[in-house]
Structure 1
C-alpha cells in the first residue's frame, strides 16, 4: 500500500527524545527525572516551551482553548506527557492528574507486556515493542562480533480525549519530525492523540522492516558460508541469530491481532475515522515484517540442519583419513613384528641384505596402501 510522505511542519512540531533517551535511568529518581516532555498541542501545532508541572497540564490546555474560542476559532488540542521508565509513585501522581485507570498503572509499572490494545472506559492503552539492530552501519561484523544482534524495548501509550501519555522502557522514542502527515498541510498531530499514536506506531513498525531486512542479509551471509565448500563454519553464529530471531518474533507477531483490534475500535470512534486507513497501513507493514522474520527463522532452521550435516560429513571424512593413516602405519609395524620373533628357522635372518630388504618391503607396501586409499578419495 503506497503512502504519501510529507514533513511535519513547523520544524519544532515534535520535540526530539533521542538525546534524553540515551541517559540510563537512575535509582531513586524524582518525577522531573523521568519526564522527557510535557507540552501542549493546539490544532496540531506544539505550543512554545515545556510545561514545568504535569499536574495542571489539562487546566492549561483548557485555558488556551478558551482563549482561542474567544477569538472566534474552533480549536482542538491535547497534552503530550512522555515518561522514561516511571515507578509506581510516579504513575500514581500521573493518575491523579489525568485520571488514568488503575489497571493501566499496574501494566505500565510492571512493563514487559505483550503488544496489545485495551480499552478502559474512554481511555485506550497500547503496548508496542521497539526492535533495532545493534549495528546497522557495520552489518558484516554484526554476526561475528555482536553478542546481542537485536535490541528490544517497549513503548506504551495511554490515550484519552485530551491527552496522550507515552512511556518508554529501555528504548528511545522514535524521531517524529520526519514522519508523514495526513495531508499536505495538516500534521498528524492535528488529529489529536490518535494522530501522535499513529506516528509513533508507524515509526516503530518501520524499524521492524529495517531490522527484518538486516536480519535477512545476515542470514544470506551465513547461507553462503554454510554452502561454500571447504569454508570454515561456526555454528554458534547460526544459533546466535536463531535466538535473536525468536526474541524478535515475540515482539512482532502479537502486534498483528492488537492492531486489528485497534482498527475495529476506530470504527466506533468518530475522531478515528480519518486515521483508520493509516493504521491499516501500519498493520500491512507489520505483516510484511512478520513474514520476513518468519522466513528468516525458517531459513535459519534449515541452516542448522545443513550445518550439522556438513559438520558430520567433515568429521566422517576426518575419521576416514585418520583410519587410513593408521592403516599405513600398521604395515611397517606388522613387518617388524614378524621379523622380530627370533625363530631359528628364518632364512632372512642370515641373509646379507635382509635388513634392507625388510625396509624396502615396508616402503613398497606403504606406497601401495597409500595409492589404494588415494584412488578411493580417503586421503
Structure 2
C-alpha cells in the first residue's frame, strides 16, 4: 500500500505521480515491488528493501545519500498478549518524508489522523518529529502496561495460595513462560528506544539538513523522554531477572519435594525387604522356623519398619505439616 498524507484531507492511495504532488508524507505500508518502483520515481531516491532496513550496523541505519537522510530502526508492536518486532525506514528530504514499514503501527495511524485534521502547511521535518513523538509515547504506553503486568506477576509468584497437589509444576511453568515473555518484550522495547534515540540525535546534529529551533527543541524533549524510558527499562529488566530467579527457586523447591518423596519411598521399602529376605533364607537352623507365632512376628516386624520411618518423616515435615 502506498499512501499520501496531506493536511486537511484523509489518506489517499497513490497510483501515479500526480497523487503525490504537494504531499509532505508519503507512506509505504508493506509495499509491492511496483509500489516501491513508483516511490523511487516520485522521490528520485533509492528505496531500501526489508533486508536493508534490518541491518544492525549504525552506518547502515543512519546515513546521507545525496541530500536525503536515510534512517531505520527496529520497532516493537504489541497486540494484546503478543508482540513482534519489524523494521521501519525513513527517507527525509528537504520537501517530504517517505516512510517504509511492513506492518501497521498505531503511532503512525495517530499521526495520520492528526495531519488530516490540520489545515496549516507541514514540512517533512515536522512530520518526522510528529512520528518520533508518537512512537515514543506508544513505547511509553507499552512499558507502562509491562510494569503493571510485572506487578501482577510478582503478586502471583509471592502471594498466591499454594497450588493443589499435581498442579504446582504446571503453575510454575506458566509463570516461567510469562516472565520470559516479559523479558523479551522489555528487550525489544529497549532496542526500539535505542533506535529512536539514534535517529533523534542524527537528525538534530545533521549539518546538511538544518532544523528550525522549534523542531530542535521538540527533538531534545524526545531525547529526554527516551532517556527516562531507558531508565525505566533497566529497572524493569532487573525486576524480570528477580522474578525469573524467584520462579526458578520455587521450581527447585518443587523438585526437592519430589526427591523427598522418592527418598521416603526408597527408605521404607528397604527394611521390610531385609526382614523378608532374612526369614526367607533356606537354612535348617533358623530359631523362628518352628515357632508358632513366627509368621505373624515377621509380618508385624515388617509393618513396624514401615510405620515408624513414616512417622519420623512426617514429624520432620517431609510428608505434611510437622508438629
Q: Same fold (TM over 0.5)?
A: yes
Q: Secondary structure at the match of 1:254?
A: helix
Q: What is the DSSP-based 3-state SS (H/G/I as helix, E as strand, rest coil) of the residue aligned with 1:154?
A: strand
Task: Select which of 55, 65, 69 maps to 1:124.
Answer: 69
1:177 Cα deviation (Å)? 6.0
Query: Is 1:213 matched with 2:153?
Result: no
- Per-residue Cα deviation, 1:151-187 (whole angstroms, up to 9, x for no partner): 223332222222222222223433226659xxxxx95
Cα RMSD for the two superposed structures: 3.3
C-alpha distance in structure 2 between counterparts of 1:260 and 1:288, whole Å: 16
Cα offset, 1:319, TM superposition: 1.0
Shift of 1:337: 1.4
Question: What is the SS of the residue equivalent to 1:119?
Answer: strand
- Native 8 Å contact 2:69 2:92 kept in 1: yes
Within 5 A, what are the aligned runs for 1:84-233? 84-86=29-31, 90-100=35-45, 102=46, 105-106=47-48, 110-113=52-55, 116-135=61-80, 142=81, 149-172=82-105, 173-176=108-111, 190-228=121-159, 230-231=162-163, 232-233=171-172
Counterparts of residues 1-379 of structure 1 (less than 5 Å): 34-36=1-3, 38-40=4-6, 45-46=7-8, 50=12, 54-56=16-18, 60-61=21-22, 78-86=23-31, 90-100=35-45, 102=46, 105-106=47-48, 110-113=52-55, 116-135=61-80, 142=81, 149-172=82-105, 173-176=108-111, 190-228=121-159, 230-231=162-163, 232-234=171-173, 235-265=176-206, 269=210, 271-379=211-319
Separation of aligned partners in 2, 1:338 and 1:51: 92
Q: Secondary structure at the residue paired with 2:214?
A: coil
Contact 2:30 2:102 in 1 (8 A): yes
Counterpart in the other structure of 2:166: none
Structure 2 unaligned runs (5+)?
164-170
Using the size of structure 2 for normalisation, the TM-score is: 0.78
1:245 CA drift (Å): 3.5
Q: Distance in 1 between matches of 2:219 and 2:172?
A: 43
* Map of 1:7 onto structure 2: none
> Deviation at 1:109?
7.1
The answer as to whether partners of 2:73 and 2:89 remain within 8 angstroms in 1 is yes
The secondary structure found in structure 2 opposite 1:352 is coil
1:323 deviation in Å?
0.9
Aligned length: 303
Q: State the shift of 1:328 in Å.
A: 1.2
Larger RCO, structure (CA 8 Å, separation 6 or more): 1
CA contact (8 A) 1:133 1:211 kept: yes
Could you tell me how far apart the structure 2 residues matched to 1:300 and 1:49 are? 41
What is the CA–CA distance in structure 2 between the aligned matches of 1:188 and 1:159, rounded to whole Å? Answer: 22
Give the unaligned 5+ runs of structure 1. 1-33, 62-77, 136-141, 143-148, 181-185
CA distance in 2, matches of 1:88, 1:230: 57
Aligned to 1:16: none
**Alpha-carbon separation, structure 2, partners of 1:195 and 1:303:** 42
Give the secondary structure class of the aligned counterpart of 1:299.
Answer: helix
